[in-house]
Amino acid sequence: MRTITVLIFSLIILSSGFALDFKALKEQAGQGNPDAQVQLGKIYESIGVDAKYRTAASWYRKAAEQNHAEAQFRLGMLYEEGKGFPRDYMRSFQYIRDAATNGFSEAQYRLGTKYYLGKGLTRNVDKALEWLTKAAEQEHAYAIETLRTIK
């Protein structure tokens, strides 16, 4: 099934102008543009096979090292889900925490729920409320709903 997905993805790339855009995106990413690195990571992640998850992680890591919040979050999620390498909840937590600290609302929401549920760390309702509130202030719908539910 994955082979078919990769084949279809390859045909889409080759049959459209996407091939030229992909080349330009890869060049920008190679020059250190963190937004391009994240976009390239998303493309590789969408293919859905271990080797491509590792390639995605490599691009996310380059952007994360430049404090790109979405890259930090996406890398954290790859570690949490064990995509491309064994699950590592500690690394996942570190990257998601960094993304939350850098203002990425999805990371703030995830961190808040982790603290509330005690998932992978000691349960801490005060920290949960702090992170969920930060996400809600950015109009993160799930954070707003979660706060309504737990308050």
* Prediction pTM value: 0.84
Same domain? 41 vs 92:
yes
Q: How confident is the model at residue 27 (pLDDT cuts 50, 70, 90)?
A: very high
Tell me the residue type at 11: L
Answer with the residue of higher pLDDT: 35 or 119: 35
Res. 3: pLDDT tops 60: no
45 and 74 Cβ atoms separated by less than 8 Å: yes
CATH number at residue 44: 1.25.40.10
87/122 same-domain check: no
Same domain, 83 and 122: no
Confidence tier at 4 by pLDDT (50, 70, 90): low
Domain count, the chain: 2
Distance CA(138)–CA(135), nearest Å, equals 5
Is residue 1 domain-shared with residue 71, that is, in the same domain? yes
**Domain residue limits at 92:** 1-102
